[in-house]
Amino acid sequence: MRFDTVIIGGGLSGLVCGIRLQKSGKNCAIISAGQSAMHFSSGTFDLLGRMPDGSVVENPLEAIDRLDAGHPYSIIGKEKVARYATEAPDFLAGCGITVKGDAQSNSWRITPTGERKPAWLTLGDFTPLTSKNEKIGTKALIVNILGYLDFNTKFLADSFEKQGTVCRIASIRLEEMERLRKNPSEMRSTNIARVMDRDNIWEKAASQVKEMIKDEDVVVLPAVFGLKNAETVETMRKAIGIKTVFVATMPPSVPGIRTQMTLKAEFERAGGRFFIGDSVIEADFNEDNTVKSVATYNFGDIRVYADDFVLATGSFFSKGLIATPEKIYEPVFGIDLNYEEKRDGWFDRNFWNRQNYISFGAKVSEKLNTYVDGRPVENLYAIGSLLGGSNTLYEGCGGGVAIISALAAADEILHK
Ligand SMILES: Cc1cc2nc3c(=O)[nH]c(=O)nc-3n(C[C@H](O)[C@H](O)[C@H](O)COP(=O)(O)OP(=O)(O)OC[C@H]3O[C@@H](n4cnc5c(N)ncnc54)[C@H](O)[C@@H]3O)c2cc1C
């Protein structure tokens, strides 16, 4: 089997890279093992929320100059980062995903526990805040779905009340949800969203919420609507009739899964082949140290050939990187990694502190080419959270690194 480009990993970075390449005329395949970080998404793509020293970033583009030379943004270069960050909302809109946000000024998102964190692009489901302390309204009606445990109304009320919003908590009960409620482990966001989508049950939910409103000026709901179609969320807002703020739930993330499915559909609509549930297990190299082909579990003896390969397998979370007590390695190509040799430096025993291992990852050139045993591999690119040099969780830059490195690698391949 032969393609122009084979992308390994179908999360945010692999899909963005594949869509850009496929729409530009390359014949691409994405081979992807399983779920991606998008299934756990907060509903925002983060460009840069905090500097490595912990200081809060207001203007991500302006802050890039102050990052270490090994950070993916420094490697790609400020000018390109600014260009791709500015173009990202239109790129996503072209895939059918509506986002709000500005690379020169972070907004704020509300986390499932009511905390507020800097955000770059916010999915249309959510309401970005302009400042950390913005009041969502004067009086809020926080509504849960009876029996749903992954939406903590009390935490949210406590946090909104700190900003001076008076909160009332209520629940809606829907007959159609009763079968799920018999087993509390079935009351998960995606199952609820599926029931809501079926026969437009969400209309009943919106109408119950509307009847509950007394003198409140804002309704707060869990983001468990519109698994298949983002328009459901907008239609619900209209049906409820007052400001309605959807808040991210504990995983799985309904808006994140919808975004993943939308990007996959866009890649396939453009003519790309997406092989889901398959893993790339090994590769062979040409004499000039370029990659010749890869093998996967499902294709067995049939090897997959391409001119270029993009490694978008994520970090430890997605098994793009593997840690043993002795070492950290990348399992498909054995590419060179940047990481601390001494295990003591991998993590901080305090779970809440910055964890060094998150910043370990692929060593790349300014073109995002990888290295094996110190030698560059000119047709193998690494993108997304597999890249070393950024602490995506601590710095709040995961979505930005994924989208920007994906567009940068795609352009390198297109302009070779
Ligand atoms: C739990 C969690 C929540 C996050 N939430 C946010 C957020 O809300 N906002 C934000 O900006 N950032 C968030 N991030 C950061 C996140 O890493 C990036 O935003 C981005 O989604 C990473 O995309 P990726 O494509 O690089 O990797 P991933 O999403 O990890 O995707 C890698 C894919 O590669 C596949 N794969 C791995 N090995 C193989 C193989 N050998 N063969 C084939 N396929 C393989 C995996 O199955 C997976 O599908 C979060 C990260 C985590 C871990």
String of DSSP letters for 36-90 = -GGGG--SEE-S-SB-TTSPBPS-HHHHGGGS-TTSHHHHH-HHHHHHHHHHHHH
Give the other-Cβ count within 10 Å of 373's Cβ. Answer: 9
Please give the model's pTM, rounded to 2 decimal places: 0.97
Cα 394 to ligand 1 centroid, rounded to whole Å: 15
DSSP SS3 for 235 = helix
Residue of minimum CA distance from atom 9 in ligand 1: 45
Q: How far is the CA of 95 from the centre of ligand 1 (A)?
A: 19
DSSP state of 198: G
The minimum-distance atom of ligand 1 relative to the CA of 41 is 8
With beta carbons less than 8 A apart as the criterion, state whether 367 and 310 touch: no
Distance 41 CA to ligand 1 centre (A): 9
Q: Measured between alpha carbons, how far is residue 142 from residues 145, 158, 174, 176, 213 in Å?
A: 10, 11, 17, 21, 10
CATH number of 127-247: 3.40.50
Q: Which helix (H) or strand (E) holds 377?
A: strand 375-382
* Top mutation candidate among 6, 44, 318 for ligand 1, by most atoms within 8 Å of CB: 318
Distance 10 CA to ligand 1 centre (A): 9
What confidence score (pLDDT) does residue 125 get?
94
Kindly give, in sequence order, each residue whose CB lies less than 8 Å from that of residue 53, ignoring residues fewer than 6 positions away: none
Residue the block writes with tokens 């791709």? 84
Q: Closest residue (by CA) to atom 26 of ligand 1?
A: 384
Nearest-atom index, ligand 1, CA of 34:
47
Reduced to 3 states (helix: H, G, I; strand: E, B; else coil), residue 295 is strand
pLDDT tens by residue, 181-210: 888 788 999 999 999 998 889 999 999 999
Q: In the prediction, which pLDDT does 185 show?
A: 81
Kindly give the number of the ligand 1 atom that is closest to the alpha carbon of 386: 26
φ, ψ (nearest 5 deg) of residue 201:
-60, -25
Q: What percent of the chain has pLDDT over 70?
A: 100
pLDDT above 80 for 135:
yes
CATH 3.50.50.60 domain locations along the chain:
2-106+257-414
Ligand 1: residues with CB < 6 A are 8-14, 31-34, 36-38, 40-42, 44-46, 279-280, 312-314, 317-320, 332, 384-385, 392, 398-399, 402
Confirm if 309 and 34 have CB atoms less than 8 A apart: no
Using the mean position of ligand 1's atoms as its centre, give its distance from the Cα of residue 98 in Å: 20
Nearest protein CA to atom 6 of ligand 1, as residue: 41
CATH class, range 2-106+257-414: alpha beta
**Cα of 247 from ligand 1 centre, angstroms:** 21
Other residues' Cβ atoms within 10 Å of the Cβ of residue 149 = 12
Pocket test for ligand 1, best of 385, 403, 405 (most atoms within 8 A of CB): 385
Residue with tokens 């000018």: 79
Amino acid (one-letter) located at 402: A
Distance 190 CA to ligand 1 centre (A): 19
CA-only gyration radius of the chain, Å: 22
Average pLDDT rounded to a whole number, residues 6-29: 98
Per-residue confidence (pLDDT) for residue 338, from 0 to 100: 95
Which pLDDT band holds residue 180 (cuts at 50, 70, 90)?
Answer: confident
171 vs 209: CA distance, rounded Å: 9
pLDDT digits (tens, 9 = 90+) for 375-401: 999 999 999 999 999 999 999 999 999
pLDDT reading at 368 higher than 80 = yes
What is the predicted pLDDT for the residue at 184?
72
Q: Which stretch of 81-85, 199-203, 232-236 has the lowest confidence by average pLDDT?
A: 199-203
Q: Report residue 270 as tokens.
A: 């453009």
Ligand 1 centre to CA of 330 (Å) is: 15
Q: How far is the CA of 360 from the centre of ligand 1 (A)?
A: 15
Share of the chain above pLDDT 90, in %: 94
Q: Does 341 score more than 90 pLDDT? A: no
